[in-house]
Structure 1
Amino acid sequence: MIFSKEYVGYLARQTVKGLEAAKVIRTDKPARLIEKVQEGLIDELSLEDRINDEVRVILGAFQDDMVKTGASYPEMFKKVKNELARKYKAVL
């Protein structure tokens, strides 16, 4: 993830604060709402990390074939990552 968890917590607090100030939302439990927003942000921001891990597993399974055919690992990484991003409908 490109952001620290502390910064994501700050973003969650600011988001909830801004939505409350604009009267878009109303809550009796702001701490719980902030926690849920933070969980959602972390989940979305760590999606690329999870995709990268999956790409490494896939390419690891085909490593011998890639060596035999002379395929470039960085090029294959990009191609597989793009395919997985499309599959998960992720914007990276």
Structure 2
Amino acid sequence: MLFSKEYIGYLSRQVVRRLTEAKMVRTETPAVLQERVYQGLLDELSLEDRINDEARLILESIQDDMLRTGASYPEMFKKIKMRLVQQYKAVL
């Protein structure tokens, strides 16, 4: 992930503060809203890491076939990752 969890926490606090100041959001419990924003940001920002992990698992399962055909690991990783990105309709 590109950002530390501390920075994501900072971003979530700032988002909640600015939205409430602009009267775009009303909340009785800003801490709960901040936690929800934090979880949403964390989920979105860690999506690429989860896709990379899944691509590695797929490559491990077809490792023997890749050795037999002489396929390149970096090329196959890119292809599988792009297929997973399309499957999840993700924007990286």
The RMSD of aligned alpha carbons is 0.6
Give percent identity, aligned residues only.
Answer: 66
Q: Which runs of 5+ in 2 are unaligned?
A: none
Q: Distance in 2 between matches of 1:29 and 1:42?
A: 20
- The one-letter amino acid paired with 2:28 is D
Corresponding residue number in structure 2 for 1:76: 76
Corresponding residue number in structure 1 for 2:30: 30
Q: Distance in 1 between matches of 2:69 and 2:82?
A: 21
How many residue pairs end up in the alignment?
92
Structure 1 consecutive aligned stretches of length 4 or more whose deviation exceeds 3 Å:
none
Q: Deviations over 1:29-76 (max 9, x none)?
A: 001100110011101111111110100000001001101111110011
Q: Distance in 1 between matches of 2:49 and 2:67?
A: 25
Q: Distance in 1 between matches of 2:48 and 2:2?
A: 10
Q: Which runs of 5+ in 1 are unaligned?
A: none
1:1-92 map, 5 Å:
1-92=1-92
Q: Distance in 2 between matches of 1:4 and 1:36?
A: 17
